Amino acid sequence: MDHQIFKPCPDLAPFVKCYWTLESEQENTPVRNTIVPDGCMKLIFHYGDPYKHHPKSGDAQILPEFFLIGQLTQPYEVEPMGETGTFFVCFHPNGFLPFAPYPIKDMENTAVPLEKLFGGAGREIGQQVLEASTTSERISLMERFLLERLTDAQNVDLIVKSTIETILTANGRLSVNDLSKQNNVNRRNLLRKFSSTIGLSPKQLSKTIRLQATLKTLLNEETVKLTDLAYENEFYDQAHFIKDFKEFTGQTPKDFYGDHLKMSLIFDRKK
Protein backbone atom coordinates (compact mmCIF):
# COMPACT_ATOMS: atom_id res chain seq x y z
CA MET A 1 0.00 0.00 0.00
CA ASP A 2 1.15 3.55 -0.73
CA HIS A 3 0.67 6.09 2.03
CA GLN A 4 1.54 9.76 2.34
CA ILE A 5 1.41 12.08 5.35
CA PHE A 6 0.73 15.83 5.38
CA LYS A 7 0.92 18.48 8.11
CA PRO A 8 -2.07 20.69 9.04
CA CYS A 9 -2.03 24.49 8.88
CA PRO A 10 -0.76 26.29 12.02
CA ASP A 11 -4.26 27.25 13.21
CA LEU A 12 -5.33 23.60 13.24
CA ALA A 13 -2.04 22.08 14.43
CA PRO A 14 -3.13 22.07 18.13
CA PHE A 15 -6.06 19.83 17.14
CA VAL A 16 -5.14 17.96 13.94
CA LYS A 17 -2.08 15.71 14.10
CA CYS A 18 -1.88 15.13 10.35
CA TYR A 19 -3.66 14.24 7.14
CA TRP A 20 -2.74 11.12 5.28
CA THR A 21 -3.74 9.03 2.31
CA LEU A 22 -3.75 5.29 1.74
CA GLU A 23 -4.01 3.84 -1.75
CA SER A 24 -3.69 0.38 -3.24
CA GLU A 25 -4.98 -1.71 -6.11
CA GLN A 26 -7.12 -4.65 -5.05
CA GLU A 27 -4.50 -7.33 -5.75
CA ASN A 28 -2.02 -5.53 -3.47
CA THR A 29 -4.41 -5.21 -0.52
CA PRO A 30 -4.56 -7.86 2.24
CA VAL A 31 -7.92 -9.58 2.68
CA ARG A 32 -8.39 -8.13 6.17
CA ASN A 33 -6.58 -5.52 8.25
CA THR A 34 -6.65 -4.95 11.99
CA ILE A 35 -6.71 -1.33 13.05
CA VAL A 36 -4.99 -1.20 16.43
CA PRO A 37 -6.04 1.50 18.94
CA ASP A 38 -3.66 4.49 18.92
CA GLY A 39 -5.45 7.10 21.05
CA CYS A 40 -6.47 9.27 18.08
CA MET A 41 -9.91 9.84 16.57
CA LYS A 42 -10.07 10.12 12.79
CA LEU A 43 -12.31 11.39 10.02
CA ILE A 44 -12.18 8.84 7.21
CA PHE A 45 -13.20 9.31 3.57
CA HIS A 46 -13.25 6.31 1.23
CA TYR A 47 -12.90 7.80 -2.26
CA GLY A 48 -11.97 4.33 -3.54
CA ASP A 49 -14.12 1.25 -3.05
CA PRO A 50 -15.95 0.68 0.26
CA TYR A 51 -14.65 -1.20 3.28
CA LYS A 52 -16.38 -3.73 5.51
CA HIS A 53 -16.10 -3.84 9.27
CA HIS A 54 -16.02 -7.28 10.92
CA PRO A 55 -17.21 -6.91 14.53
CA LYS A 56 -16.37 -9.46 17.22
CA SER A 57 -19.92 -10.76 17.01
CA GLY A 58 -22.58 -10.44 14.35
CA ASP A 59 -22.44 -9.94 10.61
CA ALA A 60 -19.99 -7.78 8.70
CA GLN A 61 -21.13 -4.21 8.03
CA ILE A 62 -20.29 -1.98 5.09
CA LEU A 63 -18.72 1.20 6.42
CA PRO A 64 -20.05 4.61 5.29
CA GLU A 65 -18.17 6.48 2.58
CA PHE A 66 -17.27 9.18 5.09
CA PHE A 67 -17.38 8.94 8.88
CA LEU A 68 -15.63 9.54 12.18
CA ILE A 69 -14.05 6.59 13.95
CA GLY A 70 -14.27 7.15 17.68
CA GLN A 71 -11.67 6.19 20.25
CA LEU A 72 -10.82 2.52 19.91
CA THR A 73 -10.36 0.37 23.00
CA GLN A 74 -10.19 -2.90 21.07
CA PRO A 75 -9.00 -4.13 17.65
CA TYR A 76 -11.12 -2.95 14.74
CA GLU A 77 -11.04 -5.37 11.81
CA VAL A 78 -11.77 -4.09 8.31
CA GLU A 79 -11.78 -5.60 4.85
CA PRO A 80 -11.38 -3.77 1.51
CA MET A 81 -14.02 -4.53 -1.11
CA GLY A 82 -11.89 -3.42 -4.04
CA GLU A 83 -9.26 -0.78 -4.66
CA THR A 84 -8.30 1.31 -1.64
CA GLY A 85 -8.38 5.09 -1.82
CA THR A 86 -8.72 6.65 1.63
CA PHE A 87 -8.17 10.13 3.05
CA PHE A 88 -7.74 10.50 6.81
CA VAL A 89 -7.89 13.48 9.15
CA CYS A 90 -6.11 12.32 12.29
CA PHE A 91 -6.70 14.33 15.47
CA HIS A 92 -4.52 14.58 18.55
CA PRO A 93 -5.95 12.51 21.46
CA ASN A 94 -7.85 15.59 22.72
CA GLY A 95 -8.13 17.30 19.32
CA PHE A 96 -11.66 16.44 18.23
CA LEU A 97 -13.37 17.92 21.28
CA PRO A 98 -13.96 21.44 19.80
CA PHE A 99 -15.79 19.87 16.84
CA ALA A 100 -17.82 17.26 18.73
CA PRO A 101 -21.60 17.88 18.83
CA TYR A 102 -22.15 15.34 21.62
CA PRO A 103 -19.99 13.56 24.24
CA ILE A 104 -16.76 11.99 22.97
CA LYS A 105 -17.33 8.92 25.12
CA ASP A 106 -20.51 8.08 23.18
CA MET A 107 -18.43 7.61 19.99
CA GLU A 108 -16.20 4.87 21.42
CA ASN A 109 -15.46 1.96 19.02
CA THR A 110 -18.03 3.37 16.60
CA ALA A 111 -18.06 4.56 13.00
CA VAL A 112 -20.20 7.71 13.15
CA PRO A 113 -21.48 9.00 9.76
CA LEU A 114 -20.61 12.65 9.12
CA GLU A 115 -24.26 13.55 8.60
CA LYS A 116 -24.98 12.40 12.18
CA LEU A 117 -22.21 14.69 13.43
CA PHE A 118 -22.77 17.74 11.24
CA GLY A 119 -26.14 17.24 9.50
CA GLY A 120 -26.41 18.49 5.92
CA ALA A 121 -23.01 20.16 6.16
CA GLY A 122 -21.50 16.75 6.94
CA ARG A 123 -23.02 15.19 3.83
CA GLU A 124 -21.88 18.13 1.72
CA ILE A 125 -18.26 18.13 2.88
CA GLY A 126 -18.14 14.35 2.56
CA GLN A 127 -19.23 14.46 -1.07
CA GLN A 128 -16.84 17.30 -1.83
CA VAL A 129 -13.89 15.38 -0.41
CA LEU A 130 -14.84 12.25 -2.37
CA GLU A 131 -15.17 14.20 -5.60
CA ALA A 132 -11.91 16.15 -5.18
CA SER A 133 -9.24 15.15 -7.67
CA THR A 134 -6.13 15.76 -5.53
CA THR A 135 -5.01 15.39 -1.93
CA SER A 136 -4.21 19.10 -1.67
CA GLU A 137 -7.80 19.89 -2.66
CA ARG A 138 -9.12 17.49 -0.02
CA ILE A 139 -6.92 19.09 2.63
CA SER A 140 -8.08 22.60 1.64
CA LEU A 141 -11.73 21.54 1.82
CA MET A 142 -11.32 19.97 5.26
CA GLU A 143 -9.30 22.82 6.70
CA ARG A 144 -11.90 25.36 5.64
CA PHE A 145 -14.65 23.13 7.08
CA LEU A 146 -12.87 22.65 10.43
CA LEU A 147 -11.79 26.28 10.82
CA GLU A 148 -15.38 27.43 10.33
CA ARG A 149 -16.33 25.24 13.30
CA LEU A 150 -13.42 26.15 15.53
CA THR A 151 -15.33 28.74 17.53
CA ASP A 152 -13.50 28.24 20.82
CA ALA A 153 -9.87 27.63 19.84
CA GLN A 154 -8.56 28.93 23.17
CA ASN A 155 -10.57 26.46 25.21
CA VAL A 156 -7.80 23.86 25.47
CA ASP A 157 -7.48 22.11 28.81
CA LEU A 158 -3.83 22.70 29.66
CA ILE A 159 -3.76 19.97 32.30
CA VAL A 160 -4.97 17.38 29.80
CA LYS A 161 -2.58 18.69 27.15
CA SER A 162 0.37 18.53 29.55
CA THR A 163 -0.56 15.03 30.73
CA ILE A 164 -0.85 13.76 27.15
CA GLU A 165 2.61 15.13 26.40
CA THR A 166 3.94 13.36 29.49
CA ILE A 167 2.35 10.07 28.41
CA LEU A 168 3.79 10.37 24.91
CA THR A 169 7.27 11.29 26.15
CA ALA A 170 7.27 8.30 28.53
CA ASN A 171 5.81 5.96 25.87
CA GLY A 172 2.93 5.22 28.24
CA ARG A 173 5.14 3.76 30.98
CA LEU A 174 3.99 5.97 33.88
CA SER A 175 1.23 5.10 36.34
CA VAL A 176 -1.82 7.32 36.82
CA ASN A 177 -0.46 8.33 40.23
CA ASP A 178 2.83 9.39 38.63
CA LEU A 179 0.96 11.37 35.97
CA SER A 180 -1.12 13.11 38.65
CA LYS A 181 1.97 14.08 40.61
CA GLN A 182 4.01 15.25 37.62
CA ASN A 183 1.17 17.44 36.37
CA ASN A 184 0.08 18.62 39.83
CA VAL A 185 -3.52 17.50 39.49
CA ASN A 186 -5.82 15.43 41.68
CA ARG A 187 -6.21 11.86 40.37
CA ARG A 188 -10.01 11.97 40.34
CA ASN A 189 -10.01 15.33 38.58
CA LEU A 190 -7.58 13.99 35.98
CA LEU A 191 -9.81 10.97 35.30
CA ARG A 192 -12.84 13.22 34.86
CA LYS A 193 -11.02 15.56 32.49
CA PHE A 194 -9.70 12.71 30.35
CA SER A 195 -13.10 11.06 30.07
CA SER A 196 -14.76 14.26 28.82
CA THR A 197 -12.00 15.49 26.49
CA ILE A 198 -10.49 12.28 25.13
CA GLY A 199 -12.99 9.53 25.82
CA LEU A 200 -10.26 7.41 27.41
CA SER A 201 -8.86 7.26 30.92
CA PRO A 202 -5.18 8.15 31.48
CA LYS A 203 -4.52 4.44 32.04
CA GLN A 204 -6.21 3.46 28.76
CA LEU A 205 -4.29 6.07 26.79
CA SER A 206 -1.02 5.04 28.44
CA LYS A 207 -1.63 1.36 27.61
CA THR A 208 -2.42 2.32 24.03
CA ILE A 209 0.73 4.43 23.61
CA ARG A 210 2.90 1.76 25.19
CA LEU A 211 1.55 -0.88 22.84
CA GLN A 212 2.13 1.36 19.81
CA ALA A 213 5.75 1.80 20.90
CA THR A 214 6.04 -1.97 21.24
CA LEU A 215 4.60 -2.57 17.77
CA LYS A 216 7.12 -0.18 16.24
CA THR A 217 9.92 -2.09 17.95
CA LEU A 218 8.58 -5.32 16.46
CA LEU A 219 8.46 -3.75 13.02
CA ASN A 220 11.91 -2.15 13.10
CA GLU A 221 13.92 -5.03 14.57
CA GLU A 222 14.40 -8.30 12.72
CA THR A 223 14.53 -10.51 15.80
CA VAL A 224 12.99 -9.62 19.14
CA LYS A 225 12.58 -11.87 22.18
CA LEU A 226 9.24 -11.36 23.88
CA THR A 227 10.87 -11.33 27.29
CA ASP A 228 13.23 -8.54 26.17
CA LEU A 229 10.36 -6.63 24.58
CA ALA A 230 8.28 -6.86 27.75
CA TYR A 231 11.23 -5.70 29.84
CA GLU A 232 12.12 -2.77 27.54
CA ASN A 233 8.55 -1.47 27.68
CA GLU A 234 8.28 -1.98 31.45
CA PHE A 235 5.50 -4.54 31.53
CA TYR A 236 5.30 -6.44 34.83
CA ASP A 237 6.23 -9.67 33.07
CA GLN A 238 5.74 -11.51 29.79
CA ALA A 239 2.23 -12.66 30.75
CA HIS A 240 1.19 -9.03 31.37
CA PHE A 241 2.65 -8.04 28.00
CA ILE A 242 0.79 -10.79 26.12
CA LYS A 243 -2.47 -9.94 27.93
CA ASP A 244 -2.30 -6.26 26.89
CA PHE A 245 -1.19 -7.19 23.38
CA LYS A 246 -4.20 -9.48 22.87
CA GLU A 247 -6.55 -6.85 24.32
CA PHE A 248 -5.62 -4.34 21.61
CA THR A 249 -4.80 -6.60 18.65
CA GLY A 250 -6.91 -9.70 19.23
CA GLN A 251 -3.85 -11.93 18.80
CA THR A 252 -0.66 -13.00 20.53
CA PRO A 253 2.55 -11.18 19.50
CA LYS A 254 3.76 -14.29 17.66
CA ASP A 255 0.55 -14.59 15.62
CA PHE A 256 0.40 -10.87 14.89
CA TYR A 257 3.99 -10.49 13.69
CA GLY A 258 4.72 -10.08 9.95
CA ASP A 259 2.60 -8.58 7.17
CA HIS A 260 -0.33 -8.22 9.55
CA LEU A 261 1.80 -6.04 11.81
CA LYS A 262 3.03 -3.91 8.90
CA MET A 263 -0.50 -3.28 7.63
CA SER A 264 -1.75 -2.32 11.08
CA LEU A 265 1.04 0.21 11.51
CA ILE A 266 0.30 1.68 8.09
CA PHE A 267 -3.28 2.26 9.22
CA ASP A 268 -2.09 3.89 12.43
CA ARG A 269 1.10 5.61 11.29
CA LYS A 270 1.28 9.37 11.88
CA LYS A 271 4.95 10.21 11.47
pLDDT greater than 60 at residue 262:
no
pLDDT at position 271: 45
Distance, CA of 108 to CA of 72 (rounded, Å):
6
143 and 9 fall within a common domain: yes
126 and 17 fall within a common domain: yes
pLDDT greater than 70 at residue 68:
yes
Output 15 or 271, whichever has higher pLDDT. 15
Which pLDDT tens digit goes with each residue over 110-140?
999 999 999 999 999 999 999 999 999 999 9
Distance, CA of 257 to CA of 254 (rounded, Å):
6
- Domain at 104, CATH number: 2.60.120.10
pLDDT greater than 70 at residue 265:
no
Average pLDDT over residues 83-105: 94
102 and 188 fall within a common domain: no
pLDDT greater than 60 at residue 253:
yes
Domain boundary among 124, 149, 174: 149
Which pLDDT tens digit goes with each residue over 4-16?
999 999 999 999 9
Which three-class secondary structure state does DSSP give residue 85?
strand
145 and 163 fall within a common domain: no
Sequential DSSP letters for 3-28: EEEEPPPTTTTTTEEEEEEEEE-GGG
144 and 162 fall within a common domain: no
- How high is the mean pLDDT of the chain? 88
Percent of the chain residues topping a pLDDT of 70: 89
270 — pLDDT class (breaks 50, 70, 90): very low
pLDDT at position 30: 57
pLDDT at position 7: 97
Report the domain count for the chain: 2
Report whether 170 contacts 181 (CB < 8 A): no
pLDDT at position 6: 96
Domain boundary among 115, 149, 183: 149
pLDDT greater than 70 at residue 251:
yes
13 and 122 fall within a common domain: yes
Q: How many CB atoms lie within 10 A of CB 201?
A: 16
133 and 238 fall within a common domain: no
* pTM, entire model: 0.90
178 and 129 fall within a common domain: no
139 and 195 fall within a common domain: no
pLDDT greater than 50 at residue 266:
no
Which pLDDT tens digit goes with each residue over 39-48?
999 999 999 9
Kindly calculate the radius of gyration of the chain based on its CA atoms and give it in whole angstroms.
Answer: 18
Output 183 or 153, whichever has higher pLDDT. 183
pLDDT at position 19: 97
122 and 237 fall within a common domain: no
Using CA atoms, how far residue 14 sits from 40, 94, 146, 174, in Å, is: 13, 9, 12, 24
Which pLDDT tens digit goes with each residue over 163-212?
999 999 999 999 999 999 998 899 999 999 999 999 999 999 999 999 88
pLDDT at position 259: 54
Distance, CA of 33 to CA of 71 (rounded, Å):
18
pLDDT at position 214: 85
Q: Which of 43-47, 102-106, 151-155, 173-177 has the least mean pLDDT?
A: 151-155
**Domain span holding position 37:** 2-149
188 and 235 fall within a common domain: yes
- Domain at 185, CATH number: 1.10.10.60
118 and 185 fall within a common domain: no
Q: How many CB atoms lie within 10 A of CB 113?
A: 16
The amino acid at 258: G
Domain boundary among 110, 131, 149: 149
